[in-house]
């Protein structure tokens, strides 16, 4: 399971959830500001999930504004500094 902190991009949470479910073929649950991708049984790499999130940002024209940081136990969507 891979966790994504979506606090700064909550308005796109449902679209991101659907995109990840389609691309990765796993269940995605949103609990507050955290999105959990897959389950403990499924061996998802953080890199693969990060690539899919970055692809979603690009397709929504959000890649100039947001980036994905890979932290020890989760991915985090953050706003880029200008």
Which pLDDT tens digit goes with each residue over 19-78? Answer: 999 999 999 999 999 999 998 888 889 999 999 999 999 999 999 999 999 988 899 999
**Cβ neighbours of residue 29 closer than 8 Å, sequence gap 6 or more:** 35, 36
> Looking at domain 2-79, which CATH architecture does it have?
2-Layer Sandwich (3.30)
Task: Give the H/E segment covering residue 81.
Answer: none
Q: How far is CA 46 from CA 13, 15, 82, in A?
A: 18, 19, 27
Task: Work out the widest C-alpha separation in the chain, in whole angstroms.
Answer: 40
pTM of the predicted model over 0.85 = yes
């Amino acid at each position: 399971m891979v966790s994504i902190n979506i606090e700064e991009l909550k308005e796109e949470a449902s679209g991101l959830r659907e995109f990840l479910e389609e691309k990765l073929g796993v269940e995605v649950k949103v609990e507050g500001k955290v999105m959990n991708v897959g389950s403990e049984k499924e061996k998802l790499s953080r890199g693969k999930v990060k690539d899919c999130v970055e692809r979603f940002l690009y397709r929504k024209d959000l890649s100039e504004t947001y980036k994905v940081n890979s932290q020890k136990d989760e991915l985090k969507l953050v706003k880029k500094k200008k």
